[in-house]
């Protein structure tokens, strides 16, 4: 697992890409619970993103978005760490919805295609 210090030194494009993937995952089921909202805020802080940057990133996310461009921006981040973190995040509300699992599967496929 990456430490907060390791995460904060990642290039900003990677931190934004991860935050956008997380946001995409949490909105894919058309409902963001209080637990999920807290998680987004907490992760944004860990990533070193200001409130404005978090809001900007959230505005960039649409559930119909292709995820490959975001995965492509993750150059130095270990894919296993990202997938595990997203899996854990999907359980923030106590359950993983089928749409959340489907998105995680797509992200995994995008990592595999990336090489």
Query: Which CATH number characterizes residue 96's domain?
Result: 1.10.3680
Number of domains in the chain: 1
CA 85 to chain centre: 8
pLDDT at 84: 86
Q: Which domain holds residue 31?
A: 4-114
Chunk the chain into consecutive blocks of 10 residues (it has 115) and report each block's average pLDDT, rounded to whole numbers. 69 90 89 88 92 91 88 82 87 88 93 84
Long-range contact list for 81-86, CB < 8 A, 24+ apart? 81/1, 81/2, 82/18, 82/21, 82/107, 82/111, 83/107, 83/108, 83/111, 84/1, 85/18, 85/22, 86/21, 86/22, 86/25
Structure tokens at 107: 């992200």
| 8 Å CB contact between 80 and 111 | no
User: pTM of the prediction?
Assistant: 0.86
- Polymer length in residues for the chain: 115
pLDDT at 55: 92
pLDDT at 79: 83
């Amino acid at each position: 697992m990456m430490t907060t210090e390791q995460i904060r030194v990642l290039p900003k494009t990677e931190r934004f890409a991860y935050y956008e993937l997380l946001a995409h995952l949490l909105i894919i089921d058309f409902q963001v619970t209080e637990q999920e909202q807290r998680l987004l805020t907490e992760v944004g802080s860990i990533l070193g993103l200001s409130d404005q940057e978090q809001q900007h990133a959230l505005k960039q996310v649409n559930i119909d978005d292709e995820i490959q461009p975001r995965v492509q921006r993750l150059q130095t981040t270990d894919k296993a760490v990202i997938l595990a973190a997203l899996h854990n995040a999907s359980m923030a509300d106590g359950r993983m919805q089928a749409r959340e699992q489907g998105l995680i599967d797509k992200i995994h496929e995008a990592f595999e295609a990336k090489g």
